[in-house]
Structure formats: C-alpha cells, structure tokens
Structure 1
Amino acid sequence: MKRLLEWIKRRKIRKGMTPDILREYGASIGNNVVIWTNKIDLGHAFLLTIGNNVTISDARILLHDASTKMALKYSRVGRVTIGDNVFIGADSIILPSITIGNNVVVGAGTVVTKDVPDNSVIVGNPGRIIASYDEFINRNKQLLDGGAVYNTYWKYKSEDEKKLMKKELKDGIGFDV
C-alpha cells in the first residue's frame, strides 16, 4: 500500500514541482524560489541545495547518472548546489556534482558539465562563460531604457495590446512584467 501511495504521489508530481514537494524529499531550498519543471530526480532530492531568489525554467537537474550502471552495477550520484540570484533557462541540463555560484544566468539549452563561478552568464553545450552577470544586466538595462516595455501581465493583455506588442517587436526585443 505504501508503494502504491508513493507511485500515485510521484505521478501527480510529474505535472509540476514545487519547493515544498522537493523539501518533502529532503532538498534544501531557500526563499523566493520558482520552479517551472518536474524534471528533478526525487529519489536523490536530498542531494539538492537551492539558494534564495532562484528561478528554474523547464530545465533538468540530474543528481544521478546511470551511465555506469551496466558495467559497474552502480550509478554515479552527486550533489547539485545552486547559489542565490540564479536563473536557469529552459531545456538546460545540470549534471551531478555541480555547484552553480551566486548571481548566475544559465542560458536556455545549456549543458552544465562543470562548476559555474559567481557572477557568470553561461551558455552552450558544454556550457561556457560568455559574460559577467553585471555585463549582462547592464546590457539589458540599456535595452530596457530605450526599448518597448509592457506592464500588463500576459493573462490580462487585451487583443489591442497583443497586436501592438507583435508590431513593436517585429525587429527587436522588449520587456514584459
């Protein structure tokens, strides 16, 4: 019966992960953490530490690696530590035994194969540093100051606002709440 309840719980979790669910499985998670994925290894969640002010988009966090299972009869496992003020983009993969520092942006689709130092922007496969966090923020502040800014949450945008956005963003980028 206990196994059945656990199976049911895991099936429900596949629809969405929350910090509270991860905490139930032993993860250490700070404040103001937003998780938009269910691709986190619950069986080893106790090896996961997430700091404050973190957004994890539709990324995958691997706390185990079964590539050695057939040959060695054991899977590799490792801790993943994510610092404060971190954004992890969609379709990124964080491999086991990785530390991501503070003030880091992991771009969409990045494969993180080694530790990421503080104040970095990392992209690619394998991930490589392309800018400091401050450079990235300053570049985007300039775009924000001179660009299109939209202050209506996506759910509440009128058809006119959507048309205007589509027109204004034809050849560039803008910013949304």
Structure 2
Amino acid sequence: MLIIRVIRAISVRIKNKLHPPKSELEQLRDRGLKYGKNFEFYNSLIDQGHCWLVEIGDDVTITNSTILAHDASMKAYIGKSKIGKVKIGDRVFIGFNSVVLCNVTIGNDVIVAAGSIVTKSIPDNSIVAGNPARVIGKTSEYIEKHKANLAVKPVFETYWPNKTQEQIKLIQEELQYDFGYDE
C-alpha cells in the first residue's frame, strides 16, 4: 500500500515536470479569452464561465480587479443570467480593486482609478473613478502633468525589489511631505 502511494506521488511529480500545470491565464485563453501583447494580469479575476466574451487589447495592466461578462442578479427571478461582451482597448490601466461589469467597452488610453466600478462604456483618452465610474479627466492631460512633475519631484531609479535599506530610508525621508516617482 505504501509502495503504491509512493509510486503515485513520483508519477505526479514526473508528469508535472514534463507537463507543468497551466497558469490561470493560459486556462482562460484555452477557454476563449482574447488578449494582446504586453498584457499584465496581477492577482485579478476574469469571469471563468464567460471568458470567451472578454477581449483585451495590447499594453493592458489589470491589478487586483475583477472583469465580469455575466450578471446573475436575475437568475433566481427569470431563470437566466444577463451576459455581455467586455472589450478593453489598448494602453489601459485598471487600478487596484476595480470591477468591470458585462456589456462594457473601455476605449484606448484609459486609466481606471483604484476601487472604480465600471458599469458603462468609457471613451478613449479618459480617466474614470468612482462607483459608478465617471470620467474625471483626459489621460493625455494627466500624462503631461506627470511628465512636468518629473522635473520637480523626487525620482527614484532602482526597481522596488532591488532597493537597499539605505535607499528605502532615503525615500521615506524625501517623501515625508510630498510624493515622488519610482522605477
């Protein structure tokens, strides 16, 4: 009995080395999720049951957020869930703890602020925030403002996992009363 368990455990290890388990993103792609190049997907959830209704463009970052292509709020009442496509354009950033609901298109060059709930489509070159998310500015103006700030605010060049304790202490001191920029 013990020998059989040991053999099974060894077989699983060999199988996993020869054919490592697929990542969550690979599984979603296999189920029909479409995404472009430079897609960064950090600790987020894309509707597994309807991922084939989600299309994500190039240079997109989604951080600790949820993308839903279905809404089951009516299932108990009418026996069906609402479903709809979710299309996310190119050069989009979806901030921490945001939710994008079904039947929404997010245009190109959009920033979704942290904690936003996107219930309606968002036009190109927009920054949105809130619940429900509303347009609060233009991405192009926001970029220009921050480019100008690079000349007057503290800028730190070392990527965060490579910072020394001395660098961290310096940053803490320099950011005592203001913000800066990091690699």
State the TM-score, normalized to the length of structure 1: 0.88
Gaps of 5+ in 1: 1-11
Q: Would the aligned equivalents of 2:44 and 2:62 in 1 still touch at CA under 8 Å?
A: no
**Could you tell me how far 1:17 is from its partner in structure 2?**
4.1
For residue 61 of structure 2, give the secondary structure of its aligned residue in structure 1.
strand
**Could you tell me how far 1:129 is from its partner in structure 2?**
0.7
Partner of 1:44: 50
Q: 2:117, 2:62 → 1: CA distance?
A: 14
Identity %: 42
Which structure is larger by alpha-carbon Rg, 1 or 2?
2
Number of residue pairs the alignment of both structures matches: 163
Q: CA RMSD in A?
A: 1.4
Partner of 1:111: 117
Runs of at least 4 residues off by over 3 Å: none
Q: 1:145, 1:85 → 2: CA distance?
A: 24
Partner of 1:55: 61
Q: 1:131, 1:86 → 2: CA distance?
A: 15
1:70-81 equivalent positions in 2, closer than 5 A: 70-81=76-87
Query: Does 2:138 correspond to 1:132?
Result: yes
**Could you tell me how far 1:123 is from its partner in structure 2?**
0.5
**Could you tell me how far 1:172 is from its partner in structure 2?**
1.3
Q: 1:37, 1:17 → 2: CA distance?
A: 10
Q: 1:143, 1:172 → 2: CA distance?
A: 12
Q: Would the aligned equivalents of 2:44 and 2:63 in 1 still touch at CA under 8 Å?
A: no
Q: 1:169, 1:31 → 2: CA distance?
A: 35
Q: What amino acid is the match of 2:27?
A: I
Alignment deviations for residues 86-143 of structure 1 (CA, whole Å, 9 cap, x no partner): 0000011101000000000000001101000000000011111111111110111122
Gaps of 5+ in 2: 1-20
Q: What amino acid is the match of 1:75?
A: S
